[in-house]
């Protein structure tokens, strides 16, 4: 199952349940701030919390401000300096400064806007929450912030008063081929924040014994990726070496907008793959989206190191572009 932090969802539940709710969002950081821009904390009118904006350094003060904002219904901008001592307590070497936006649900943050955000998240639709801190106007946008969506980067626009909070679907890794590399790659990817799915019609390979606790689909790869749905938050990794298994999934993914496609094999193997795809009608630009041989060239030896190289390449493409 895809994993969300569940913070906007919790805030909406508290609000609709009559408790009242406030969303606090990190809008800017300087120095060694504990949480990245876009991190959120939900606070109920009864003082319950979900999430974090500082790793524990200033949550108490934010909760007090949130409860006061719930009373007057007004949006607040807060700024805190995290001391070196407090920073060390949450695992940082030195302190920093964070700016936090506090929005009471149903007032500064309209219920219908939050509900639409929750719906978009459930539907795996990338959406940006845009708020003008001078006028108080807020809205959801699905277009116009392509770079922010790709980089998963919330922040202020150039005017310094328009804040854009990016809500992307969870990262997902689809691996075709239940081989030794996959045994190392799937748990690594989960640690890095991906929801991995393993596809292999060969049940002897894709077994619970070899992949304990993993989501395994024993369908043919083209059918499996079609059922899963491919999008801009999905990485596809092909590890079988077998064109009968790899190529159908590859053909589905090349025009599906996934952010990363990687295929195992030597330079010679990849050249043959390119020939097959060219004959199937794919353009040079489409085929060029495939990372093959897969992974960064770090001199990897053995399944675990190859898995590291693959995850590193996925991260580079995700954060810096192809």
Which residue carries 């030794």 as its tokens? Answer: 180
3-state secondary structure of 35: coil
pLDDT band at 211 (very low <50, low <70, confident <90, very high): very high
CA separation for the pair 259, 68 (Å, rounded): 42
Q: What's the number of domains the chain is made of?
A: 2
Which range is least confidently modeled, 24-38, 201-215, 234-248? Answer: 24-38
Which range is least confidently modeled, 8-17, 100-109, 179-188, 238-247? Answer: 238-247
Chosen domain end from 150, 167, 184: 167
- Do 27 and 44 lie in one domain? The reply is yes
Question: Token pair of 51, please?
Answer: 């999430």
pLDDT band at 138 (very low <50, low <70, confident <90, very high): very high
Picking from 321, 280, 179, the residue whose alpha carbon sits closest to that of residue 237 is 179
pLDDT band at 88 (very low <50, low <70, confident <90, very high): low
Judge whether residue 91 has pLDDT over 90.
no
Q: What is the pLDDT of residue 89?
A: 55
Domain assignment of residue 159, yes or no: yes
Domain assignment of residue 1, yes or no: no
Radius of gyration of the chain (CA): 22
CA separation for the pair 151, 239 (Å, rounded): 26
CA separation for the pair 66, 23 (Å, rounded): 8
76 near 32, Cβ under 8 Å? no
Per the DSSP assignment, residues forming a β-bridge with 298 are none
The pTM is what?
0.75
- Do 11 and 135 lie in one domain? The reply is yes
Write the CATH number for 224. Answer: 3.40.50.720
Query: Whole domain around residue 194: which residue ranges?
Result: 172-320
DSSP per position, 273-307: HHHHHHHTT--HHHHTTEESS-S--S---SHHHHH
Mean pLDDT of 95-120: 94
- Do 116 and 180 lie in one domain? The reply is no
Question: Token pair of 38, please?
Answer: 């876009």
Q: What is the pLDDT of residue 151?
A: 82
CA separation for the pair 310, 275 (Å, rounded): 24
Judge whether residue 123 has pLDDT over 50.
yes
- Do 144 and 202 lie in one domain? The reply is no
CA separation for the pair 304, 283 (Å, rounded): 33
- Do 53 and 82 lie in one domain? The reply is yes
Q: What is the pLDDT of residue 250?
A: 92
């Amino acid at each position: 199952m895809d994993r969300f932090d569940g913070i906007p969802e919790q805030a909406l539940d508290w609000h609709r349940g009559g408790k009242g709710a406030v969303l606090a969002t990190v809008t800017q950081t300087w120095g060694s701030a504990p949480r990245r821009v876009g991190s959120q904390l939900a606070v109920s009118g009864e003082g319950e919390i979900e999430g974090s904006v500082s790793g524990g350094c200033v949550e108490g003060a934010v909760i007090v401000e949130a409860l006061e904002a719930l009373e007057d219904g007004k949006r607040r901008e807060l700024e805190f300096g995290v001391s070196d001592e407090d920073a060390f307590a949450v695992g940082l070497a030195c302190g920093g400064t964070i700016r936090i936006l506090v929005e009471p649900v149903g007032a500064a943050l309209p219920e219908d806007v939050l509900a639409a955000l929750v719906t978009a998240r459930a539907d795996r639709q990338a959406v940006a929450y845009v708020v003008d801190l001078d006028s108080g106007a807020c809205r959801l946008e699905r277009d116009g912030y392509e770079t922010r969506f790709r980089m998963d980067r919330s922040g202020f626009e150039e005017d310094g008063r328009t804040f854009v909070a990016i809500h992307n679907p969870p990262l997902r890794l689809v691996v075709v081929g239940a081989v030794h590399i996959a045994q190392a790659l799937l748990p690594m990817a989960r640690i890095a924040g991906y929801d991995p799915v393993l596809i292999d019609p060969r049940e002897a390979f894709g077994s619970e014994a070899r992949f304990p606790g993993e989501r395994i689909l024993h369908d043919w790869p083209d059918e499996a990726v079609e059922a899963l749905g491919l999008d801009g938050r999905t990485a596809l990794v092909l590890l079988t070496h077998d064109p009968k298994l790899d190529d159908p999934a590859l053909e589905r993914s090349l025009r599906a907008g996934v952010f990363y496609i990687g295929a195992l094999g030597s330079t010679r193997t990849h050249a043959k793959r390119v020939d097959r795809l060219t004959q199937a009608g794919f353009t040079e630009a489409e085929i060029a989206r495939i990372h093959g041989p897969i992974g960064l060239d770090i001199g990897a030896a053995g399944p675990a190191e190859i898995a590291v190289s693959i995850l590193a390449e996925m991260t580079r493409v995700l954060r810096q572009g192809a």
